[in-house]
Amino acid sequence: MCLGSDRILRVDNAQTTCWTIIRAAAGGDDAARATFSRDYGGAVRKYLERRWSGRPIEAEVEDAAQEVFVECLKPRGVLERADAERGDFRGFLHGVTRNVARRFENRMIERGRIYPEESNWLLQIADDDAGQATLFDRGWAQTLMEQATQMHRQLTLADGESGLRRLELLERRFGNDEALRDIAEDWGVAAQDVHNQYRKARIEFYRCLREVVGAHAAPGKDLDKECRRLLDLLG
């Protein structure tokens, strides 16, 4: 779901950061480890799928993703070195995932499973740190958007029939690119009523998005700026 270029209202809310989960996972807490793998698995897999798209190594995505989490969660693993004061966790996880990807690529070369004609492709990847970072950020943005969408759905479903209407409204507006006046005509209600519901739905969704982004951002980050960056990454 993309909120487009319409004005988005700011919603301030206290945030619980991801560092609570990260520290607990690093300390060996099983529930925190499961939450960590679930929350970040999507971003890791999306990055690897895009990095290796159309190449024989693409079949290694799942194994590589598992190795990322082994590196993060093993005793004295990289997760224990994660520090909230050094920046947000997105950049840290990208570094771990990139290193594992390179390790898999080197293994494929050693085993003769990446052919000489593909050497240029590997060189391009190695020389394109900025492009690879953007690739990871897009997967990260999709993962956070999915989390925000799930949170928003739970919120609106708790509001009964009117909540279902707001979910349908957002889906039709952004999923099907339908004009609000056409939706109002289809529902047989005044256009202003649909505009009011649309405004409420967008505020609700942005509140969820801001909460999800805030849970993963470094302390002191401008959450509205981070939300805009996420939306820009998703186009």
Q: Does the residue 4 lie in any domain?
A: no
Name the packing angle between helices 191-216 and 160-170 (round to 10°).
Answer: 80
The boundaries of the domain holding residue 184 are 19-233
Distance CA 99, CA 92 (A): 11
Q: In this structure, are residues 42 and 142 in contact, taking their beta carbons and an 8 Å threshold?
A: yes
**Confidence band of 115 (pLDDT split at 50, 70, 90):** low
Q: Are 225 and 218 in contact (CB under 8 A)?
A: no
Q: Would residue 3 count as lying in a domain?
A: no
* Helices marked H in 52-113: 61-73, 89-110
The DSSP H or E segment spanning 88 is none
Dump pLDDT digits (tens) for 37-48. Answer: 888 898 999 999
In a domain, 84, yes or no: yes
148 in a structural domain = yes
Task: List Cα–Cα distances, 155 to 92, 150, 230, in angstroms.
Answer: 31, 9, 22
* Within-domain flag for 56: yes
Q: Output the six-digit token pair for 34.
A: 């499961």
Number of domains making up the chain: 1
Question: Is the pLDDT score of 169 beyond 60?
Answer: yes
pLDDT in tens, 22-73: 888 888 889 888 888 888 898 999 999 999 988 888 899 999 999 999 999 8
Q: Does the residue 6 lie in any domain?
A: no
The 10s digit of each residue's pLDDT in 75-95 is 888 888 877 666 667 888 999
Q: What is the pLDDT of residues 5-24, one digit of tens each?
A: 343 333 333 334 577 888 88
pLDDT of 117 > 70? The answer is no
The answer to whether residue 116 is domain-embedded is yes
> Is residue 175 included in any domain, yes or no?
yes
